[in-house]
């Protein structure tokens, strides 16, 4: 009986990764690296000019009450691309939310690409994620986040769960873009304003002083996409949204879109 | 009836010159691509926007603007409302209506009102003019839904009687969302209206079009 009054405290995953780059003789060089718990940051050798960082969650996914923190700092005129080694799996929660907090600081004239692989939401998952971006004058960020509800090929169906994903992009302290994804009733997603039969969705944001000038170019790229997608822009912000039947169709749309838009290859970990 | 209630009804009557009739919130594009094809899909589309879309988020912005103590807070809410836009047309729809609303209220009430995104302007003005918050939320959502149903009757095969049936069926949903918003905070802002958001962005390029959004 006493056991029930004091349920055993389950072991929960904690992970923290901090990565900072500075500019040295015209190149972005790693200045700060801190890894703790289940999060690792790997810097593979690539043929690209800019460094690439791959985050690895060695816990193999996220369960209720897990907590991951990522802090990235790019100082003046540096550029780097960040991704994840695999899709992040968010498993059924026994209670609390699994939490991911990401802070990205982009210094004057710096350029950051945030291209993690998709987040897979399993039945009963509870995820609370925050992504805070601080941009300085003339800095830019390209940000892509994609979600998948269950793995269709594995016959998985998501019928319950909660997802709360909040992004805030500030430039010199002023909020310029906010995304607030909130799913608290999975059954409502079948409707015509939500997803219908689709299970995958993504949002891409490019924030740069001249971002809106790329709207027509992005629209032309999107015309070749098989997923449902559209682009829009206003001062300094360019966005595209995607809805697709499953993760495969979504990836098939995202990879060429991002590659054509950036004129650069996707990080090697991204495969169809 | 109180003067305040008269005021509230006038603000959200189709005669109030904010041009509501010219915006479809992306519904025109949702109809064009077939997502919304009949009364049932229209009702489902609207219900989702109320509960898990811009209807819900607007309510939270109204509540926060109503309860704000300082101009700095209102300015932050304006920034948030603009930053949260699904796309440019949603932003225009909210800001142009908010500016028109502020302009008319300023003249009618002889009290200077700042423009901005509609829910922030409305929440701010309502507090100054003694409107009951719960009434405001329900009437705001009622006008929002009613305007979109009217847009639907002009864009698809939907009779005026069926349109009123759908509106009446949504009354409980409207009050439910308004009640929930009263006890919520900005931490609860969020939506999952993916295809409706997409439609509002697709609307920017569809031809022909009779609505501005």
Give the A-side interface with B, CB within 8 Å: 164, 166, 168-169, 174-185, 188-189, 191-196, 198, 201, 219, 228-234, 239, 241, 243
**Paired sense of beta strands A79-84 and A52-57, if any:** parallel
pLDDT band at B81 (very low <50, low <70, confident <90, very high): very high
Write the residue in B46, B191, B196 that is nearest to A180 by C-beta. B191
Write the residue in B44, B89, B192 that is nearest to A181 by C-beta. B192
Mean pLDDT of chain B: 97
Write the residue in B48, B80, B202 that is nearest to A230 by C-beta. B202
Alpha-carbon distance B169 to B126, whole Å?
27
Q: Would residue A188 count as lying in a domain?
A: yes
**Paired sense of beta strands A39-42 and A111-114, if any:** unpaired
Q: How many angstroms separate the first and last alpha carbons of chain B?
A: 36
Task: Write out pLDDT tens, residues A97-136.
Answer: 999 999 999 999 999 999 999 999 999 999 999 999 999 9
User: Is residue A2 pLDDT above 60, yes or no?
Assistant: no
DSSP string, A106-158: E-TT-EEEE-PPPEEEPTTEEEEEEEEEEE-TT-EEEEEEEEEES-GGGT---
Task: Write out pLDDT tens, residues A185-242.
Answer: 898 899 999 999 999 999 999 999 999 999 999 999 999 999 999 999 999 999 999 9
| Chain B residue at shortest CA distance from A162 | B192
A chain contacts of residue B49, beta-carbon cutoff 8 Å? 193
Cα angle A96, A241, A190 (rounded to 5 degrees) comes to 60
Cβ neighbours of residue A13 closer than 8 Å, sequence gap 6 or more? A37, A38, A57, A59, A62, A63, A66, A67, A68
Q: Is B205 on the interface with A (CB under 8 A)?
A: yes
Handedness of CA A119, B29, B58, B164 (dihedral sign): negative
Write the residue in B76, B84, B195 that is nearest to A195 by C-beta. B195
Contact B195 A193 (CB under 8 A): yes
pLDDT band at A4 (very low <50, low <70, confident <90, very high): low
Helix, strand or coil for residue B111?
coil
Share of chain B above pLDDT 90, in %: 100
Write the residue in A169, A180, A191 that is nearest to B190 by C-beta. A180
Candidates A192, A198, A205, A229: best to mutate against B (most CBs of B within 10 A) is A192
Contact A164 B205 (CB under 8 A): no
**B83 token code pair:** 């930053």
Contact A93, A61 (CB under 8 A): no
To the nearest whole angstrom, how far is the Cα of A264 from the nearest Cα of chain B? 26
Q: How much is the average pLDDT of B186-206?
A: 97
pLDDT on residue A208: 98
Q: Would residue A33 count as lying in a domain?
A: yes
Q: Is B30 on the interface with A (CB under 8 A)?
A: yes
Share of chain A above pLDDT 90, in %: 87
A chain contacts of residue B192, beta-carbon cutoff 8 Å? 181-183, 188-189, 194
To the nearest whole angstrom, how far is the Cα of A268 from the nearest Cα of chain B? 29
Contact A218, A238 (CB under 8 A): yes
**B150 token code pair:** 């009217």
Contact B195 A178 (CB under 8 A): no
pLDDT on residue B53: 98
To the nearest whole angstrom, how far is the Cα of B100 from the nearest Cα of chain A? 21
Rg (CA), chain A: 19
Q: Is B154 on the interface with A (CB under 8 A)?
A: no
pLDDT on residue A5: 64
pLDDT band at A155 (very low <50, low <70, confident <90, very high): confident
Share of chain B above pLDDT 70, in %: 100
Pinpoint the alpha helices (H) of chain A. 2-5, 215-222, 247-262
| Structural domain range at position A173 | 12-262
pTM of the model: 0.96
Handedness of CA A205, A210, A212, A215 (dihedral sign): negative
**String of b and e for A199-212 (b: at least 16 CB within 10 Å)?**
bbbbbbbbbbeebb
pLDDT on residue A192: 97
Q: Would residue A198 count as lying in a domain?
A: yes
Task: Write out pLDDT tens, residues B115-174.
Answer: 999 999 999 999 999 999 999 999 999 999 999 999 999 999 999 999 999 999 999 999
The total number of structural domains in chain A stands at: 1
Q: Would residue A267 count as lying in a domain?
A: no
Task: Write out pLDDT tens, residues B108-117.
Answer: 999 999 999 9
Residues paired with A234 in a beta bridge: A237
pLDDT on residue A152: 74
Contact B202, B33 (CB under 8 A): yes
Task: Write out pLDDT tens, residues B166-193.
Answer: 999 999 999 999 999 999 999 999 999 9
Contact B194 A201 (CB under 8 A): yes
User: Is residue A259 pLDDT above 90, yes or no?
Assistant: yes
To the nearest whole angstrom, how far is the Cα of B79 from the nearest Cα of chain A? 6
Q: Would residue A270 count as lying in a domain?
A: no
Contact A178, A171 (CB under 8 A): no
Contact A162, A127 (CB under 8 A): yes
**B55 token code pair:** 């209807």
Alpha-carbon distance values, B66 to A206, B131, B138 (Å): 33, 10, 14
| Chain B residue at shortest CA distance from A186 | B192
Contact A192 B79 (CB under 8 A): no
Q: Which domains does chain B have, with CATH numbers?
A: 3-15+24-205 (1.10.4190.10)
- How big is chain A, counted in residues? 272
């Amino acid at each position: 009986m006493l056991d029930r009054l004091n349920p055993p405290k389950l072991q929960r995953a904690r992970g923290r990764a901090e990565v900072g780059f500075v500019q040295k003789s015209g190149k972005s060089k790693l200045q700060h690296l801190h890894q703790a718990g289940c999060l690792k940051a790997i810097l593979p050798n690539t043929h690209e000019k800019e460094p690439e960082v791959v985050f690895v969650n060695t816990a193999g996914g996220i369960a209720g009450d897990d907590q991951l923190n990522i802090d990235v700092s790019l100082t003046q005129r540096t550029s780097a691309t960040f991704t994840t080694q695999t899709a992040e799996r968010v498993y059924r929660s026994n209670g609390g939310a699994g939490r991911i907090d990401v802070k990205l600081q982009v210094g004057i004239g710096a350029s950051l690409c945030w291209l993690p692989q998709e987040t897979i939401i399993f039945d009963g998952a509870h995820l609370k994620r925050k992504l805070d971006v601080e941009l300085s004058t003339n800095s830019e960020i390209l940000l892509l986040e994609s979600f998948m509800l269950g793995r269709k090929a594995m016959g998985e169906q998501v019928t319950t769960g909660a997802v709360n994903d909040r992004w805030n992009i500030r430039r010199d302290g002023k909020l310029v873009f906010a995304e607030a994804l909130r799913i608290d009733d999975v059954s409502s997603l079948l409707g015509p304003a939500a997803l219908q039969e689709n299970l995958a969705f993504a949002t891409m944001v490019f924030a740069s002083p001249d971002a809106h000038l790329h709207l027509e170019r992005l629209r032309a790229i999107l015309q070749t996409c098989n997923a449902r997608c559209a682009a829009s822009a206003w001062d300094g912000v360019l966005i595209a949204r995607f809805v697709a039947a499953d993760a495969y169709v979504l990836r098939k749309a995202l990879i060429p879109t991002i590659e054509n838009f950036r004129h650069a290859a996707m990080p090697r970990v991204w495969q169809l | 009836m109180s003067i305040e209630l008269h005021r509230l009804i006038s603000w959200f009557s189709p005669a109030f010159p904010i041009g509501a009739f010219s915006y479809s919130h992306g519904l025109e594009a949702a109809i064009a691509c077939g997502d919304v094809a009949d009364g049932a899909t229209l009702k489902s589309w609207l219900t989702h926007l109320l509960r898990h879309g811009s209807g819900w988020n607007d309510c939270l912005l109204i509540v926060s603007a109503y309860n704000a103590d300082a101009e700095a807070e209102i300015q932050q809410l304006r920034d948030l409302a603009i930053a949260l836009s699904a796309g440019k047309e949603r932003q225009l729809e909210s800001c142009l209506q908010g500016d028109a609303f502020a302009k008319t209220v300023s003249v009618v009430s002889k009290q200077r009102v700042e423009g901005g995104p509609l829910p922030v302007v409305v929440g701010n003005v309502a507090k100054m003019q003694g409107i009951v918050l719960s009434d405001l939320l329900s009437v705001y959502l009622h006008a929002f839904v009613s305007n979109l149903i009217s847009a639907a009757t002009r864009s698809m095969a939907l009779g005026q009687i069926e349109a009123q049936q759908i509106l009446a069926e949504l009354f409980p949903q409207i009050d439910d969302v308004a009640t929930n918003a009263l006890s919520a905070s900005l931490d609860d802002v969020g939506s999952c209206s993916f295809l409706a958001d997409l439609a509002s962005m697709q609307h920017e390029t569809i031809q022909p079009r009779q609505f501005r959004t």
